[in-house]
Structure 1
Amino acid sequence: MPETILIIEDDPLQADVVRLLLEHNGFEIVLSADGAEGLRKLYEVQPDLVILDLILPQMDGWAVCRRIREMSTVPIIIMTSRRSDEEKIKGLRLGADDYVVKPFNPQELVARVSSVLRRTRLPPPSKSTVMRFNGGDLIIDPTNLSVIIDGEQVELTPTEHRILLYLAEHPGQVISIEDIFTNVWGFDTDVNVNNVKWYVWRLRQKLEGPTGEQRFIFTERGAGYRFTAV
């Protein structure tokens, strides 16, 4: 069964170009011309991936990205003409999984879509058994991509889950940002290695709450991150 991609793009020509390109590569496409409609279709269709433009009528792409993350862990690729690092960082902090700048090479977009979906589909690298830490305060189930903290389910995106799992597989070790980038993303992405810290920041927000108190993931300044739990 083909994977479904929801494209939220108000430019009909651009939307058709992307639709035809992805349909040619075997994907099923659903189009939406504004943010509010896009959120409705997200709920109705339950797509495997969302391609999101930032400049939209009624509700801009930032607001749409934020709303999607409130209700779903579906992968998001932001597609926009905005090139600044600040814009990319903002998208990553809001929960986007990748960032494609217009104009783009058609095959580059296909490669990025395939890469994000592959990270979603792939089973975790090594462990398949449930991992318990701190006497069960933290439970990670690699098979079901589920995380439970203090008895409560925590919704992580596939990328966030892979970061957590990679760190948890190396407890007590200092893992560099470069190692996280290589093992979670590889190299076929526009996510910069320096942006990894924003993903870790977002992961910590979910694991440790808004206080920022380090409970499971500790920063080793100038070296990387260390997962500490027993």
Structure 2
Amino acid sequence: MRSENKSILVVDDEPKILEVVSALMISKGFRVFPADNGEDALDIFNRQNISLVILDLMMPDLTGEEVCVQIRKKSRVPIIMLTAKVEEEDVVQGLEFGADDYITKPFGLKELYARVEALLRRSRDDLIPLTLRNSWNNGDLVVDFEKGILLKKDIATVLTPTEMKILSALLKYPGKVFTREELIIIALGDDFDGYDRAIDSHIKNIRQKIEDDPKNPVYILTVHGLGYKFGGE
């Protein structure tokens, strides 16, 4: 797993935990965005390109559960919930709200980092968006992941496996900016030894298939100096 281009949102109202967890993630090469309350956490999440969230369950203003629900309305980003509650019912409830994993306080930093690594690996391989059938711009583009069908203006369109992996990643995290390196790892694997610009060729091919005007795309947008994101509505 490469952490240089990944950002982690750390949310906890206990200053010491916020400081220690943030320092750990920075030492591992992540870019870290700390927040000590739920409102700030959601504001950061909506503005930044977050790869994973470490979220305290019990906060005074907006609870971790409420933050989790709001994030899950728009993203499958991995969420690790920190909790002082050890009752099984409380843990199950947190997972039902959309958390991917939980760790109880007090916890070891090695264990937390191991959970982070595992979730990031899993999220890279899990490219199914929030819903299995997705439609944009009043049905102009439809992707049915369950049936493996992509329709452009009601006409079936075939993508290569690599193109589908790239599009799936963009659809899974709408609005998230993917660097070329991230898309290479997702679509071609860690062992790919070619140029990162190879991803541009795949993007060009996808645009030819799903855009009305590939030179003025509305679905796969270029974010200059960063990478690509999905812009469909």
- TM-score for the superposition, normalised by structure 1: 0.55
Match of 2:155 in 1: none
**SS of alignment partner, residue 167 of structure 2:** coil
Identity across matched positions, percent: 34
Of 133, 157, 164, 2:147 maps to 133
TM-fit CA distance, 1:83: 1.1
Structure 1 residues 115 and 11: alpha-carbon distance in aligned structure 2, compared to 1, 3 A threshold: same
Q: How does 1:213-224 map to 2 (within 5 A)?
A: none
Structure 1 residues 37 and 132: alpha-carbon distance in aligned structure 2, compared to 1, 3 A threshold: closer
Of 49, 52, 55, 2:52 maps to 49
Task: Verify the 8 A CA contact 1:123 1:143 in the aligned structure 2.
Answer: no
Match of 1:79 in 2: 82
Of 27, 30, 34, 1:31 maps to 34
Q: How does 1:71-150 map to 2 (within 5 A)?
A: 71-122=74-125, 133=147, 142-145=165-168
Structure 1 residues 145 and 21: alpha-carbon distance in aligned structure 2, compared to 1, 3 A threshold: same
**SS of alignment partner, residue 14 of structure 1:** helix
TM-fit CA distance, 1:90: 0.9
TM-fit CA distance, 1:123: 7.2
Aligned residues: 145
TM-fit CA distance, 1:85: 1.3
TM-fit CA distance, 1:2: 3.1
Give 4+ residue runs of structure 1 displaced > 6 Å after superposition.
134-137, 153-156
TM-fit CA distance, 1:101: 0.8
**Any stretches of 5+ residues in structure 1 without a counterpart?**
125-129, 147-152, 157-230
**Any stretches of 5+ residues in structure 2 without a counterpart?**
128-143, 152-160, 175-233
Structure 1 residues 136 and 82: alpha-carbon distance in aligned structure 2, compared to 1, 3 A threshold: same
**SS of alignment partner, residue 144 of structure 1:** helix
Letter in 2 for 1:76: I
Task: Verify the 8 A CA contact 1:79 1:102 in the aligned structure 2.
Answer: yes
Structure 1 residues 122 and 35: alpha-carbon distance in aligned structure 2, compared to 1, 3 A threshold: same
Instruction: Report the Cα distance in structure 2 between the residues aligned to 1:25 and 1:135, rounded to whole angstroms.
Output: 40
Instruction: Report the Cα distance in structure 2 between the residues aligned to 1:24 and 1:31, rounded to whole angstroms.
Output: 14
Structure 1 residues 109 and 133: alpha-carbon distance in aligned structure 2, compared to 1, 3 A threshold: same
Instruction: Report the Cα distance in structure 1 between the residues aligned to 2:82 and 2:67, rounded to whole angstroms.
Output: 13
Instruction: Report the Cα distance in structure 1 between the residues aligned to 2:13 and 2:25, rounded to whole angstroms.
Output: 17
**SS of alignment partner, residue 122 of structure 2:** helix
- Higher Cα Rg: structure 1 or 2? 2
Deviations 1:17-58 (A, max 9, x none): 101111111111110110011100000112100110011121
Instruction: Report the Cα distance in structure 1 between the residues aligned to 2:71 and 2:52, rounded to whole angstroms.
Output: 11
Of 55, 66, 70, 1:63 maps to 66
**SS of alignment partner, residue 73 of structure 2:** helix
Structure 1 residues 62 and 133: alpha-carbon distance in aligned structure 2, compared to 1, 3 A threshold: same
Instruction: Report the Cα distance in structure 2 between the residues aligned to 1:135 and 1:122, rounded to whole angstroms.
Output: 20
Structure 1 residues 132 and 100: alpha-carbon distance in aligned structure 2, compared to 1, 3 A threshold: closer
Instruction: Report the Cα distance in structure 2 between the residues aligned to 1:154 and 1:105, rounded to whole angstroms.
Output: 31
- TM-score for the superposition, normalised by structure 2: 0.55
Task: Verify the 8 A CA contact 1:4 1:47 in the aligned structure 2.
Answer: yes
Instruction: Report the Cα distance in structure 2 between the residues aligned to 1:135 and 1:72, rounded to whole angstroms.
Output: 22
Structure 1 residues 135 and 105: alpha-carbon distance in aligned structure 2, compared to 1, 3 A threshold: closer
